[in-house]
Chains A and B, each alone.
Chain A
Amino acid sequence: MSTQVTTTSVVDPEMLAACADATGTRAAAPVWFVMAGVALGILFLKSEVLTWYRIQEMFRFQAFHMYGVIASALGIATVGVQLIRRMRLSAWNGEAIFIPDKQTTPYGIRYWGGGTIFGLGWGLLGACPGPMFALLGAGITVMVVAIASAMAGTWLYGALQSRLPH
């Protein structure tokens, strides 16, 4: 009980209420999402995928490590999704699980264009949007600059969205 109090006290109570709303009355408590995140943050750090060094090593094809992490994560995720689909499992709150398809576009410009720009950033910063937060927690405080810049990039996309090809 005491852990729940400390966890909820650091976040916006309105957000918690909205989170509970969005997932229905018998939805998983918000604290479960925080706990899943804690586990993932630990995994990002202990697998070293959040380090700039490992990303450089990956793009130079000098070790198998990153490929092993990504491939095995993808393998398990694929099996999990297939099980959910074939067994028609429903979510914890009893609702059907709906996995939306990514929108397909005529030439897929957003995917190769946006993907390439993301890759340029990934190769430079060495951290993607999950690890950024783990690094900040790990005491690399200057990551707030990267996060603020990433928000600026996201904002610019929002401003240009109607004019960009997708």
Chain B
Amino acid sequence: MEFLLEPWPWYVAGPLIGLMVPLLLMLGGKPFGLSANLRHMCAAVAPGDLNFFRYDWRKEGGWNLLFALGILVGGFVASRWLLPEGYTVAIAESTRGDLQRLGLQDLSGLMPSELFTWTVLSTGRGLITLVLGGFLVGFGSRWAGGCTSGHAISGLATLQLPSLIAVAGFFAGGLLMTHVILPLIF
């Protein structure tokens, strides 16, 4: 039981995450990729007049939306029963120092409270993180045709060159944000 409460090492969690790809294929030929759900959700609530959202989202995306619902439930279960009291993510000391230099005081919990609580939405930093961050993730993943799960894991596992280019883009963008833009906007 102790093991369940500790963070799981990469060599345990990583392979289990990787098993999702063959599992979904075996369950019904489904490709592992989560950003498509954002499209299905748009098609469900606000298709507008756009061709991109005019399709049977229940038929195409029903399984994936259920998968995402499961992820939400999994997040709930793990946070409720599988986290110790006073949990702090054991990131490297150097990262801790960098984040403090960015102006974050509270580095406890799953997410920094200075960026991911409702009250920080009134600060420029919180608003940019949640609204602009979310927007770029949504726009970028759809333009690129996939996100971390669809390109970096599923796409590379099926040996696709487009996915390799997309993953290089993910890293280029992430490095640019982390090292150049974050220090400017935080």
Interface residues of A in 101-151 (CB under 8 A from B): 101-105, 108, 110-130, 132-143, 145-151
Q: Which residues of B contact A145 (CB under 8 A)?
A: 121, 130-131, 134
Report the minimal beta-carbon distance from A162 to chain B, rounded to whole angstroms: 8
One digit per residue, 1 when the CB lies within 8 angstroms of any chain B CB and 0 when it does not, for chain A 61-100 equals: 0111110111111111110110110000101110111111
Bound: A140/B144 CA distance, A: 27
Cross-chain contact A155 with B140 (CB below 8 angstroms): no
Bound: A49/B77 CA distance, A: 16
Q: Which residues of B contact A34 (CB under 8 A)?
A: 66-67, 69-70, 73
Chain A interface residue number, banded: 35 or more
Bound: A83/B14 CA distance, A: 19
Bound: A37/B78 CA distance, A: 12
Cross-chain contact B62 with A91 (CB below 8 angstroms): no
Contact partner of B18 (CB less than 8 A), chosen from A41, A80, A83, A134, is A80
Cross-chain contact A68 with B11 (CB below 8 angstroms): yes
Residue of A nearest to B8 (CB): A46
Secondary structure call for the B interface: helix
Q: Which residues of B contact A47 (CB under 8 A)?
A: 7-8, 10, 13-14, 17
Bound: A28/B89 CA distance, A: 37
Report the minimal beta-carbon distance from A52 to chain B, rounded to whole angstroms: 5
Report the minimal beta-carbon distance from A144 to chain B, rounded to whole angstroms: 9
Cross-chain contact A114 with B142 (CB below 8 angstroms): yes
Cross-chain contact B111 with A135 (CB below 8 angstroms): yes
Report the minimal beta-carbon distance from B93 to chain A, rounded to whole angstroms: 8
Cross-chain contact A52 with B112 (CB below 8 angstroms): yes
Report the minimal beta-carbon distance from A16 to chain B, rounded to whole angstroms: 7
Cross-chain contact B18 with A124 (CB below 8 angstroms): no
Report the minimal beta-carbon distance from A100 to chain B, rounded to whole angstroms: 7
Q: Which residues of A contact B24 (CB under 8 A)?
A: 33, 36
Bound: A49/B156 CA distance, A: 19
Instruction: Contacts A10-B69, A19-B63, A104-B161 known; list 19 others, CB within 8 Å.
Output: A19-B59, A30-B66, A32-B27, A34-B67, A36-B20, A36-B27, A42-B77, A57-B91, A66-B10, A68-B11, A68-B14, A77-B157, A81-B158, A98-B29, A120-B140, A124-B133, A130-B68, A143-B116, A155-B50
Hey, which bits of chain A sit against chain B, CB under 8 A? 10-12, 14-16, 18-19, 21-24, 27-28, 30, 32-60, 62-66, 68-78, 80-81, 83-84, 89, 91-93, 95-105, 108, 110-130, 132-143, 145-159, 161, 164
